[in-house]
Structure formats: structure tokens, C-alpha cells
């Protein structure tokens, strides 16, 4: 059953920044999002808009309240499988090593 449309060949070389994300497929990654949110999860899929599918995600929302003393509040939750819309993504990186 021949394809009637030519599929673009998948290359293994890194040619553009999005290819760097391709290297992280199926790996755990760290995603920084707008509105002080961070996601840590396994990257299952992504597209050119940076829409992503993340599995086993932990979302961290950071709220900084400036009272008399500044204090920071972290709100975490876990979601098994999440579709993230690309326009909220600020950066994508391998998970941060603490310490």
C-alpha cells in the first residue's frame, strides 16, 4: 500500500533547536512554563509549537507572597498523562540535578 504523500525523512543529525528536544524523547525532562509553573515528566511527544505530551508529571506552582517577610509557597501535584499547550512553555531542559 504505497503512500501517496512523501514523508519527510527522519534524520539523526541535530540540525535545529527542536532536534535537541527530539534527543530527549522518552526521557524525563524539566519544563519551565509561564506563570511560575514547572513541570517534570517523561516526554512522550512534541510538535513544532512545543505542544507536548508528558507522562508521570509533577507540576510545581510557585507563589511568592511579599508580606512583611517575603515567603515562597510551592504547590505540587501529580498527573499521570498531560497534554501541554506550547504557548505556555518557556524552556525545556534535562531534569535539574540538585546538590
Partner 1 sequence: MESERSDSPPSGSAPVAEVFNSIRERSIAENSMVVLLQGLQGEVTTVELRNESSARGRVVNVDAFMNVRLDDVTYKDRQGKSSQLQDMFITGRNIRYVHIPDHVDIMKTIEGHLAKIHRVRNFGSKGGGRKEYAKKAK
Would you count residue 66 as binding partner 1 (CB under 8 A)?
no
Would you count residue 64 as binding partner 1 (CB under 8 A)?
no
Would you count residue 65 as binding partner 1 (CB under 8 A)?
no
Would you count residue 21 as binding partner 1 (CB under 8 A)?
no
Q: Quick one: which of 65, 66, 84, 82 has its CA closest to 74?
A: 65
Mapping DSSP onto H, E and C, the string for 31-86 reads EEECCCEEEEEEEEEECCCCCEEEEEEEEEEEEEEECCCEEEEEEEEEEEEEEECH
In the bound complex, what is the minimum distance in angstroms from residue 83's beta carbon to partner 1? 4
Task: Kindly write out the interface string for residues 23-62 of this chain, putting x where it contacts partner 1 by CB under 8 A and - elsewhere.
Answer: ------------x--------xxxxxx-xxx---------
Pick one of 80, 96, 97, 99: the residue that binds partner 1 (CB under 8 A).
80
64 close to 71: Cβ distance less than 8 angstroms: yes
Amino acid at each position: 500500500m504505497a503512500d501517496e504523500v512523501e514523508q519527510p525523512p527522519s534524520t539523526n543529525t541535530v540540525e535545529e533547536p527542536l532536534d535537541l528536544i527530539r534527543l530527549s524523547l522518552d526521557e524525563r525532562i524539566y519544563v519551565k512554563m509561564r506563570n511560575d509553573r514547572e513541570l517534570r515528566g517523561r516526554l512522550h511527544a512534541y510538535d513544532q509549537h512545543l505542544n507536548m505530551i508528558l507522562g508521570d508529571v509533577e507540576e510545581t506552582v510557585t507563589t511568592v507572597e511579599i508580606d512583611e517577610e517575603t515567603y515562597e509557597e510551592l504547590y505540587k501535584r501529580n498527573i499521570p498523562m498531560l497534554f501541554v499547550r506550547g504557548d505556555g512553555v518557556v524552556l525545556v531542559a534535562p531534569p535539574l540535578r540538585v546538590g
